[in-house]
Amino acid sequence: MAHLAGALACLAGAPACLTGAPAGLAGARAAPGSEPSPPEERDAAMPEVSYRTVEVGGHAVFYREAGPRDAPVLLLLHGFPSSSRMYEPLLRRMAGSYRLIAPDFIGFGHSAAPDPEAFAYTFDHLAEVLDGFTATLGLRRYSLFLQDYGGPLGFRLALAHPERVEALVIQNAVAHEDGLGPLWDKRRAFWADRKTHEAALRENFLSLAATRQRHLGSDPDPTAYDPDLWTDEFAFLSRPGQDRIQTELFYDYRTNVASYPAWQAWLRRHKPPLLVLWGRYDPSFQAAEAEAYRRDVPDAEVHILDAGHFALDVKAREIAALVGAFLPRRAGAAPRKE
Protein backbone atom coordinates (compact mmCIF):
# COMPACT_ATOMS: atom_id res chain seq x y z
CA MET A 1 0.00 0.00 0.00
CA ALA A 2 2.89 2.35 0.71
CA HIS A 3 4.09 1.88 -2.87
CA LEU A 4 0.59 2.63 -4.17
CA ALA A 5 0.38 5.78 -2.06
CA GLY A 6 3.73 6.91 -3.38
CA ALA A 7 2.69 6.30 -6.98
CA LEU A 8 -0.53 8.25 -6.48
CA ALA A 9 1.44 11.08 -4.94
CA CYS A 10 3.67 11.24 -8.02
CA LEU A 11 0.67 11.30 -10.32
CA ALA A 12 -0.70 14.18 -8.27
CA GLY A 13 2.52 16.13 -8.79
CA ALA A 14 4.25 15.60 -5.47
CA PRO A 15 7.36 17.82 -5.33
CA ALA A 16 9.65 14.95 -4.36
CA CYS A 17 8.78 13.19 -7.61
CA LEU A 18 9.23 16.33 -9.71
CA THR A 19 12.63 17.17 -8.31
CA GLY A 20 14.11 13.77 -8.99
CA ALA A 21 14.15 12.33 -5.44
CA PRO A 22 15.29 8.68 -5.54
CA ALA A 23 12.49 6.16 -5.50
CA GLY A 24 11.53 5.17 -1.99
CA LEU A 25 12.98 8.30 -0.34
CA ALA A 26 10.05 10.65 -0.85
CA GLY A 27 8.42 9.46 2.33
CA ALA A 28 11.59 9.07 4.39
CA ARG A 29 11.86 10.87 7.70
CA ALA A 30 13.63 14.22 7.34
CA ALA A 31 16.73 14.93 9.37
CA PRO A 32 16.25 17.28 12.34
CA GLY A 33 16.11 20.87 11.15
CA SER A 34 15.39 19.88 7.53
CA GLU A 35 11.66 19.13 7.69
CA PRO A 36 9.87 19.74 4.39
CA SER A 37 7.84 22.90 3.92
CA PRO A 38 4.06 22.72 4.32
CA PRO A 39 2.25 21.69 1.11
CA GLU A 40 0.91 25.17 0.48
CA GLU A 41 4.44 26.65 0.59
CA ARG A 42 5.79 24.00 -1.77
CA ASP A 43 2.95 24.62 -4.22
CA ALA A 44 3.59 28.36 -4.15
CA ALA A 45 7.27 27.87 -4.92
CA MET A 46 6.76 25.39 -7.77
CA PRO A 47 6.82 27.03 -11.21
CA GLU A 48 3.60 26.73 -13.17
CA VAL A 49 3.63 25.14 -16.61
CA SER A 50 0.96 26.04 -19.14
CA TYR A 51 -0.21 23.67 -21.88
CA ARG A 52 -1.48 25.54 -24.92
CA THR A 53 -2.37 25.09 -28.58
CA VAL A 54 -2.16 27.64 -31.39
CA GLU A 55 -3.05 27.32 -35.07
CA VAL A 56 -0.22 27.71 -37.57
CA GLY A 57 -0.96 27.37 -41.27
CA GLY A 58 -4.21 25.58 -40.53
CA HIS A 59 -2.58 23.05 -38.18
CA ALA A 60 -2.82 22.81 -34.41
CA VAL A 61 0.57 23.19 -32.69
CA PHE A 62 0.68 22.18 -29.04
CA TYR A 63 3.31 23.65 -26.75
CA ARG A 64 4.39 23.87 -23.13
CA GLU A 65 5.36 27.17 -21.62
CA ALA A 66 6.75 28.26 -18.27
CA GLY A 67 8.34 31.39 -16.85
CA PRO A 68 7.74 35.15 -16.97
CA ARG A 69 6.71 36.56 -20.33
CA ASP A 70 9.29 39.35 -20.06
CA ALA A 71 12.20 36.96 -19.34
CA PRO A 72 14.80 35.83 -21.93
CA VAL A 73 13.33 33.13 -24.17
CA LEU A 74 14.72 29.59 -24.37
CA LEU A 75 13.10 27.74 -27.28
CA LEU A 76 13.31 23.98 -26.69
CA LEU A 77 13.14 21.69 -29.73
CA HIS A 78 12.65 18.00 -29.06
CA GLY A 79 13.90 14.79 -30.64
CA PHE A 80 12.50 11.58 -32.12
CA PRO A 81 10.20 9.96 -31.11
CA SER A 82 9.71 12.28 -28.17
CA SER A 83 7.77 15.52 -27.78
CA SER A 84 7.87 18.66 -25.69
CA ARG A 85 7.28 16.40 -22.70
CA MET A 86 11.01 15.58 -22.63
CA TYR A 87 11.61 19.15 -21.43
CA GLU A 88 9.35 19.00 -18.36
CA PRO A 89 12.42 18.69 -16.06
CA LEU A 90 13.86 21.96 -17.42
CA LEU A 91 10.50 23.73 -17.36
CA ARG A 92 10.26 22.97 -13.66
CA ARG A 93 13.84 23.95 -12.85
CA MET A 94 14.49 27.06 -14.97
CA ALA A 95 11.13 28.82 -15.17
CA GLY A 96 11.97 31.19 -12.35
CA SER A 97 14.46 33.05 -14.54
CA TYR A 98 13.63 32.29 -18.18
CA ARG A 99 10.63 32.00 -20.45
CA LEU A 100 10.79 28.42 -21.70
CA ILE A 101 8.73 27.41 -24.73
CA ALA A 102 8.66 23.83 -26.01
CA PRO A 103 6.46 23.01 -29.03
CA ASP A 104 5.48 19.60 -30.38
CA PHE A 105 6.37 19.33 -34.06
CA ILE A 106 3.62 18.46 -36.53
CA GLY A 107 3.18 14.68 -36.39
CA PHE A 108 4.47 14.46 -32.80
CA GLY A 109 3.00 14.57 -29.32
CA HIS A 110 -0.23 16.54 -29.08
CA SER A 111 0.18 18.60 -32.25
CA ALA A 112 -1.79 17.82 -35.40
CA ALA A 113 -0.73 14.76 -37.36
CA PRO A 114 -2.24 15.16 -40.84
CA ASP A 115 -2.11 12.32 -43.31
CA PRO A 116 1.10 12.28 -45.38
CA GLU A 117 -1.08 12.51 -48.49
CA ALA A 118 -2.15 15.98 -47.33
CA PHE A 119 1.02 17.18 -45.60
CA ALA A 120 4.61 16.79 -46.77
CA TYR A 121 6.63 15.40 -43.86
CA THR A 122 9.97 16.99 -44.61
CA PHE A 123 12.30 18.89 -42.31
CA ASP A 124 11.92 21.96 -44.51
CA HIS A 125 8.16 21.84 -44.05
CA LEU A 126 8.32 21.25 -40.30
CA ALA A 127 10.75 24.16 -40.01
CA GLU A 128 8.33 26.34 -41.97
CA VAL A 129 5.57 25.53 -39.47
CA LEU A 130 8.00 26.12 -36.60
CA ASP A 131 8.93 29.50 -38.05
CA GLY A 132 5.23 30.35 -38.22
CA PHE A 133 4.86 29.22 -34.61
CA THR A 134 7.57 31.64 -33.43
CA ALA A 135 5.89 34.42 -35.42
CA THR A 136 2.51 33.62 -33.89
CA LEU A 137 4.01 33.89 -30.41
CA GLY A 138 5.91 37.06 -31.35
CA LEU A 139 9.35 35.60 -30.54
CA ARG A 140 11.96 38.03 -31.91
CA ARG A 141 14.98 36.89 -29.85
CA TYR A 142 15.67 33.51 -28.32
CA SER A 143 18.28 30.97 -27.36
CA LEU A 144 17.82 27.55 -28.96
CA PHE A 145 18.07 24.24 -27.10
CA LEU A 146 18.39 21.54 -29.78
CA GLN A 147 18.15 17.78 -29.26
CA ASP A 148 18.18 15.14 -32.03
CA TYR A 149 15.51 16.15 -34.60
CA GLY A 150 15.44 19.55 -32.95
CA GLY A 151 18.93 20.11 -34.38
CA PRO A 152 17.98 20.09 -38.08
CA LEU A 153 14.92 22.22 -37.38
CA GLY A 154 16.81 24.66 -35.18
CA PHE A 155 19.59 25.11 -37.72
CA ARG A 156 17.01 25.88 -40.38
CA LEU A 157 15.56 28.57 -38.10
CA ALA A 158 19.04 29.94 -37.39
CA LEU A 159 19.97 30.16 -41.08
CA ALA A 160 16.67 31.87 -41.87
CA HIS A 161 16.85 34.34 -38.95
CA PRO A 162 20.39 34.64 -37.59
CA GLU A 163 19.53 37.96 -35.93
CA ARG A 164 17.10 36.19 -33.59
CA VAL A 165 19.57 33.67 -32.16
CA GLU A 166 21.18 34.69 -28.87
CA ALA A 167 22.84 31.32 -28.19
CA LEU A 168 22.77 27.64 -29.09
CA VAL A 169 22.59 24.74 -26.66
CA ILE A 170 23.25 21.44 -28.42
CA GLN A 171 22.28 18.19 -26.69
CA ASN A 172 23.04 15.14 -28.82
CA ALA A 173 22.15 16.82 -32.09
CA VAL A 174 24.41 16.29 -35.10
CA ALA A 175 25.82 18.75 -37.63
CA HIS A 176 28.95 16.80 -38.74
CA GLU A 177 29.60 13.36 -40.19
CA ASP A 178 31.65 12.68 -37.03
CA GLY A 179 28.43 12.07 -35.14
CA LEU A 180 26.99 9.32 -37.33
CA GLY A 181 28.04 5.91 -36.05
CA PRO A 182 27.76 2.39 -37.49
CA LEU A 183 23.98 2.30 -37.03
CA TRP A 184 23.72 4.81 -39.84
CA ASP A 185 25.03 2.39 -42.48
CA LYS A 186 21.63 0.69 -42.69
CA ARG A 187 19.87 4.04 -42.64
CA ARG A 188 21.96 5.28 -45.54
CA ALA A 189 21.02 2.10 -47.41
CA PHE A 190 17.35 3.00 -46.86
CA TRP A 191 17.94 6.46 -48.32
CA ALA A 192 19.72 4.97 -51.33
CA ASP A 193 17.12 2.27 -52.03
CA ARG A 194 13.90 2.94 -50.14
CA LYS A 195 11.84 0.18 -51.73
CA THR A 196 14.27 -2.56 -50.76
CA HIS A 197 14.95 -1.42 -47.20
CA GLU A 198 11.74 0.25 -45.99
CA ALA A 199 10.10 -2.79 -44.40
CA ALA A 200 13.21 -3.62 -42.36
CA LEU A 201 13.64 -0.01 -41.31
CA ARG A 202 10.05 0.27 -40.08
CA GLU A 203 10.33 -2.97 -38.12
CA ASN A 204 13.44 -1.79 -36.28
CA PHE A 205 13.13 1.99 -36.21
CA LEU A 206 9.58 2.06 -34.82
CA SER A 207 9.74 -0.95 -32.49
CA LEU A 208 9.36 -0.92 -28.70
CA ALA A 209 12.85 -2.40 -28.36
CA ALA A 210 14.38 0.43 -30.42
CA THR A 211 12.36 3.03 -28.52
CA ARG A 212 13.70 1.67 -25.22
CA GLN A 213 17.26 1.42 -26.51
CA ARG A 214 17.32 5.07 -27.56
CA HIS A 215 17.00 5.98 -23.90
CA LEU A 216 19.24 3.37 -22.30
CA GLY A 217 21.98 3.13 -24.92
CA SER A 218 25.11 1.71 -23.30
CA ASP A 219 24.47 3.21 -19.87
CA PRO A 220 25.77 0.73 -17.25
CA ASP A 221 22.95 1.72 -14.89
CA PRO A 222 19.60 1.08 -16.58
CA THR A 223 17.87 1.28 -13.18
CA ALA A 224 18.20 5.08 -13.36
CA TYR A 225 15.62 5.27 -16.19
CA ASP A 226 11.86 5.45 -15.75
CA PRO A 227 10.29 2.86 -18.11
CA ASP A 228 7.43 5.30 -18.77
CA LEU A 229 9.90 7.27 -20.90
CA TRP A 230 9.80 4.72 -23.71
CA THR A 231 6.40 3.12 -23.12
CA ASP A 232 4.71 6.52 -23.43
CA GLU A 233 6.69 7.31 -26.59
CA PHE A 234 5.82 3.93 -28.04
CA ALA A 235 2.14 4.59 -27.36
CA PHE A 236 2.39 7.70 -29.54
CA LEU A 237 4.32 5.77 -32.20
CA SER A 238 1.57 3.14 -32.23
CA ARG A 239 -1.20 5.56 -33.16
CA PRO A 240 -2.79 5.03 -36.57
CA GLY A 241 -0.74 6.59 -39.35
CA GLN A 242 2.40 7.15 -37.29
CA ASP A 243 4.38 4.49 -39.15
CA ARG A 244 3.85 6.35 -42.44
CA ILE A 245 4.48 9.77 -40.91
CA GLN A 246 7.75 8.80 -39.27
CA THR A 247 8.97 6.80 -42.25
CA GLU A 248 8.36 9.74 -44.59
CA LEU A 249 10.15 12.12 -42.25
CA PHE A 250 13.10 9.84 -41.70
CA TYR A 251 13.49 9.31 -45.44
CA ASP A 252 13.91 13.09 -45.64
CA TYR A 253 16.62 13.00 -42.95
CA ARG A 254 19.11 12.54 -45.79
CA THR A 255 18.61 16.25 -46.56
CA ASN A 256 19.98 17.07 -43.11
CA VAL A 257 23.21 15.21 -43.77
CA ALA A 258 23.52 17.04 -47.08
CA SER A 259 23.04 20.33 -45.20
CA TYR A 260 25.87 19.78 -42.71
CA PRO A 261 28.37 21.90 -44.68
CA ALA A 262 25.91 24.83 -44.75
CA TRP A 263 25.27 24.56 -41.01
CA GLN A 264 28.99 24.40 -40.29
CA ALA A 265 29.57 27.46 -42.46
CA TRP A 266 26.87 29.32 -40.52
CA LEU A 267 28.54 28.41 -37.23
CA ARG A 268 31.93 29.57 -38.49
CA ARG A 269 30.51 32.82 -39.84
CA HIS A 270 28.35 33.81 -36.85
CA LYS A 271 30.25 32.12 -34.01
CA PRO A 272 27.22 32.08 -31.70
CA PRO A 273 27.68 31.41 -27.98
CA LEU A 274 27.61 27.61 -28.05
CA LEU A 275 27.10 25.11 -25.24
CA VAL A 276 27.40 21.42 -26.18
CA LEU A 277 26.01 18.84 -23.75
CA TRP A 278 26.61 15.25 -24.82
CA GLY A 279 25.32 12.00 -23.36
CA ARG A 280 28.20 9.58 -23.80
CA TYR A 281 25.95 6.48 -23.83
CA ASP A 282 24.01 7.48 -26.95
CA PRO A 283 23.63 4.37 -29.17
CA SER A 284 23.17 6.37 -32.36
CA PHE A 285 25.21 9.58 -32.22
CA GLN A 286 28.93 9.40 -31.50
CA ALA A 287 30.56 11.42 -28.72
CA ALA A 288 33.18 12.63 -31.22
CA GLU A 289 30.49 14.98 -32.52
CA ALA A 290 30.70 17.08 -29.35
CA GLU A 291 34.29 18.09 -30.06
CA ALA A 292 33.56 18.51 -33.78
CA TYR A 293 31.58 21.65 -32.93
CA ARG A 294 34.83 23.25 -31.74
CA ARG A 295 36.17 23.13 -35.30
CA ASP A 296 33.50 25.69 -36.17
CA VAL A 297 33.24 27.57 -32.86
CA PRO A 298 36.62 27.21 -31.09
CA ASP A 299 35.39 28.69 -27.81
CA ALA A 300 32.37 26.39 -27.59
CA GLU A 301 31.79 25.04 -24.10
CA VAL A 302 31.61 21.23 -24.20
CA HIS A 303 30.48 18.86 -21.44
CA ILE A 304 30.35 15.06 -21.80
CA LEU A 305 27.72 13.64 -19.46
CA ASP A 306 27.15 10.18 -18.01
CA ALA A 307 23.81 9.95 -19.80
CA GLY A 308 22.25 8.62 -22.97
CA HIS A 309 20.66 10.12 -26.08
CA PHE A 310 18.03 11.89 -23.98
CA ALA A 311 20.38 13.24 -21.33
CA LEU A 312 17.57 14.94 -19.43
CA ASP A 313 16.35 11.47 -18.44
CA VAL A 314 19.02 11.25 -15.76
CA LYS A 315 20.93 14.57 -15.72
CA ALA A 316 18.19 17.21 -15.57
CA ARG A 317 19.58 18.95 -12.50
CA GLU A 318 23.10 19.13 -13.94
CA ILE A 319 21.88 20.32 -17.35
CA ALA A 320 19.70 23.03 -15.79
CA ALA A 321 22.71 24.27 -13.80
CA LEU A 322 25.01 24.28 -16.85
CA VAL A 323 22.50 26.11 -19.05
CA GLY A 324 21.59 28.52 -16.27
CA ALA A 325 25.25 29.43 -15.79
CA PHE A 326 26.09 29.59 -19.50
CA LEU A 327 23.34 31.85 -20.84
CA PRO A 328 24.03 34.97 -18.73
CA ARG A 329 27.80 34.49 -18.95
CA ARG A 330 28.13 33.92 -22.69
CA ALA A 331 24.89 35.01 -24.36
CA GLY A 332 24.05 38.08 -22.32
CA ALA A 333 20.70 36.44 -21.60
CA ALA A 334 20.60 37.58 -17.99
CA PRO A 335 18.00 35.71 -15.96
CA ARG A 336 15.00 37.71 -14.86
CA LYS A 337 15.30 38.96 -11.30
CA GLU A 338 12.39 38.34 -9.00
Which positions are annotated as active-site residues? 309
178: amino acid identity, one letter: D
Length of the chain: 338
Residues contacting residue 327 through CB under 8 Å, at least 6 positions apart: 72, 74, 98, 143, 166, 167, 333, 335
Side chain identity at residue 242, one-letter code: Q
Q: 3-class SS at 70?
A: coil
Packed helices 228-237 and 208-216: angle between N→C axes, nearest 10 degrees: 140
Beta bridge partners of 279: 305
Handedness of CA 108, 109, 112, 116 (dihedral sign): positive
Phi, psi of 335 (to 5 degrees): -65, 150
Which of 244, 152, 254 is closest to 198 using CA atoms? 244
